[in-house]
Chains A and B, each alone.
Chain A
Amino acid sequence: MRAARSAAQGVPRSAPRRVLVVCCPDWPAAAQDQSGRPGARAFEQVISAVEEFCPRVEVIRPGICAIGARGPARYFGGEAELARKITEAVTGRGFGCQVGIADGLFAARLAALAGLPVVVVAPGGTAAFLAPYPVITLESPELDDLLPALGITTLGEFAALPAAEVANRFGTRGARAHRLARGHDPRPLVPRPPRADLSVQIEFDPPAEQSEPVVFAAKMLAAKMHSRLADGGLACVRVQVQAVCEDGREITRLWRHDGLLSALAVAERVRWQLDGWRTGQGDQAGQAGQAGQGSQGRETGDGIRAGGITLLRLTPDQLVRAGGRQLGLWGDAVPSDRVARAALRVQAMLGHGAVQCPVVAGGRSPADQVLLVPFSDTGTPLLPADRPWPGRIPAPAPATVYPAPVPARVTDDSGAVVTVTGRAQASALPARLWLWLPPDVGGGRSGGGRSGGGRSGGGWSGGGWSDGGRSGGGRSLAVISWAGPWPVTERWWDLASSRRQARFQLVTEDGSAWLAVVQDGHWLIEASYD
């Protein structure tokens, strides 16, 4: 697509890109002084000097960075002039600097490392420039030994070999190295726009024992973060709230933002996060207290347990351009503030993924036909609902779709398990359905009988099947009518996700209707229609 676009704009696809590489030759030494990370951080100064000339800089590694040279060179009066100005700017900040300009990153990098302050390889002269370099500069471990053994020592000699032969003899990597040696870059420059650190934080000394001061500070921090984002014309999709406790524990949570939250709303989320955390801590403290270990738990009135908060940090996540948001004129179910507040409170208690909104999707089995996305996220189903899904379960849809299918068995009159032949014929007439509802499924599933089988008074009498399901073993029901088998072979081209099943609908003696599936000789209850 990129090629098509550049062709449409009249740029020949094969035109090599002029690349300027800035290299600090003594960088490893400087990095050693300050051990690793500080060295990388010091290179930020070099990058900021280079950004004065071109805002899109690709950092290759600490010590070397690259920019596209074509535009800046035209602006600053030629490539040599640009290189001279960059050298001056970088050396002005106290760093050694060498600059190379050539077609493509590989050659420009070699030019920058050539040992001269400025090396400019003329357009089209890249192959000639590369020719005297030894093959070891290709940094290809396979070729380093092999090529000299074949009598090929320089890139020029390597480049002279026919490309097809190189690909035959040395494979893909060899072909790639051959392209490099001929002066073609294997990949375009990937410069990134500058990334500023937009996070804001505040430290509490002494640690904040109560929620209130933290929430108050959060409001101020959020206002600061919003103004920084607005300066950059940015909005964040989510905001990460991180609170560090005195004992080193961290509470980190991502909140949906979408550029819509006010500072007060962000502060409110901080409060929920702390409250939710406190609730969880309270539970833990209770358990620990029972075990006789709750010595350091001290509950404060309104706030935070065990030491208080020492640091609060807000980090904008997933920056996007602030373009406003257009809502549907009507017809969209826009959650009102009240609903959003309730949902976010529950998310603070149980986690972001605990509150879900369903999106109707396509697919054949009932479980496929819904996609659950966490509240305030957006999700697009992989299986669109508006396609024909031949073989999908016909309406009416089952009201109960088991998250995990329930093991079952369907037998005929003689007690043998009913199977389905390759020609989609049932081996016998289904006569009994055996169900193995796990206790938690059975108990949580229906209102009837979840804490003790003896209680079956008035309102619980509708329960029926789940009472038996709870009894541990399988439970058997006579099948009074049935339909099927309806075979489905899905995704046969993909071994990992292929399914070959046959579905049945069964009505049992208690009046319940079931959607059963047989796969590899095993019966499962996918759904119940009650």
Chain B
Amino acid sequence: MRAEIVQVTPLSLGQDGDGVPAERVLPGAGMLPVLPALRDLLPGGGLRRGSVVATGRWGLLCLALAAGASAAGAWCAVTGLPQLGVVAAADAGLDPGRLLLIAEPGNSWPQVVASLLDGCEIVLLCPPDRPSAQVRRKLEAAIRRYEGVLVVAGDWEGAQTRLLVARQEWTGMGAGHGRLRARKVQVVADGRGAWSRPRARWLWLPGPDGSVTAVAEGVAGGVPAAAADGTDGSDWARGTGEAGVSWRGANAG
């Protein structure tokens, strides 16, 4: 069943040492790779096949969770989220070419999710209604059978892992000047068993270019604005200059 992944990235078979480690994780190790920034937060350093990850609410964190596996060749289906920002998903690392969007799964969403799990490694779900315990058990059985991963943008009672955005702080913008550049978030993970002790990490979610990275230790506690501004402030100024747009807003007064 895992053979398709190998076909998607045929070169990964030949590469032994220098390839992305994630690609070796993909076929059959029981784990789907995640972005490096998220490895510390997840038991085993990846998404365990057959498990459910709940994220509390819809947000960029859901996309970031799926990004690592998508970049490594997995297909990702997104269900019940018509508001998904595809550009943000692509910036976070998801491959739009391996994305299936089912905006309105309707009342039969459990069947839709089960069908999707048959084909896609990751299904990102925002349940239109609260599933009954029976529906949940059936879906969990399907997830285990197809060895997929369900990322729930919401709560899921039997979830093996939960990731929540505990704190967030946008940088780059003042009262009438600047623009949004990056968001520093504190993601708290907890789960069952050995992972039941919550652990927290600071992430750039998104970073200045839309990617998701870990906040360097030095700035973890302090105000990170300087780091973000330094990276691409000139970029933006140059971009507007080229475009001949003269509305850069210094009109706070």
A residues near B (Cβ < 8 Å) are 279, 283, 330, 332-343, 345-346, 349-350, 354-360, 366, 369-370, 372, 375, 388, 390-391, 394-403, 424-426, 429, 444-448, 450-451, 458-464, 466, 481-487, 505, 507, 511, 513, 527, 529-530
Contacts and interface: CB of A to CB of B under 8 A. Distances in A.
Contacts of A484: 176, 249
A337 B4 contact: yes
A464 B164 CA distance: 12
B248 to A, nearest CB: 8
A337 B10 CA distance: 16
Interface stretch (B18-26, B30-38, B58-66): B58-66
B185 to A, nearest CB: 9
Contact of B60 (A349, A399, A448): A399
Given A403-B82, A460-B56, A507-B180, A446 B153 contact: yes
Interface in B181-215: 181-183, 206-210
Contacts, number: 256
Interface of B: 1, 4, 7-8, 10-11, 54-60, 63, 75, 77, 80, 82-91, 95-108, 111-112, 115-120, 126-130, 152-156, 159, 162, 164-170, 173-183, 206-210, 236, 239-240, 242-245, 247, 249, 251-252
A330 B249 CA distance: 45
B58 A356 contact: no
26 contacts: A330-B10, A336-B8, A336-B119, A338-B1, A339-B119, A355-B101, A357-B96, A357-B99, A388-B242, A396-B209, A397-B85, A397-B206, A400-B59, A400-B83, A402-B83, A425-B251, A444-B82, A447-B55, A451-B129, A459-B54, A462-B164, A464-B57, A481-B173, A481-B175, A482-B176, A513-B183
Nearest to B190: A458
A482 B57 CA distance: 25
B173 A485 contact: no
B118 A338 contact: yes
A337 B7 CA distance: 11
A393 to B, nearest CB: 9
Nearest to B177: A483
Contacts of A403: 82-83, 103
A338 B119 contact: yes
Contacts of B252: 429
Given A342-B118, A350-B106, A355-B102, A399 B88 contact: yes
A213 to B, nearest CB: 25
Given A283-B107, A359-B96, A447 B85 contact: no
B177 A530 contact: no
B249 A447 contact: no
A336 B177 CA distance: 48
Pairs A-B, 7 closest by C-beta atoms: A447-B154, A342-B119, A390-B243, A333-B97, A336-B4, A462-B56, A397-B87
A442 to B, nearest CB: 11
Contacts of A460: 56-57, 154-155
Given A283-B107, A396-B208, A451-B129, A391 B85 contact: no
A484 B251 CA distance: 8
Nearest to A528: B83
Contact of A400 (B58, B108, B170, B173): B58
A283 B128 CA distance: 18
Contacts of A426: 176, 251
B80 to A, nearest CB: 7
A360 B210 CA distance: 15
A444 B126 contact: yes
A358 B119 contact: no
Contact of A429 (B80, B86, B156, B176): B176
Nearest to B105: A350
Contacts of A390: 240, 242-245
A459 B164 contact: yes
Chain B CB within 10 Å, residue with most, of A334, A359, A400, A403: A400
A366 B128 contact: no
Contact of A446 (B57, B77, B174, B180): B57
Contacts of B116: 342-343, 346
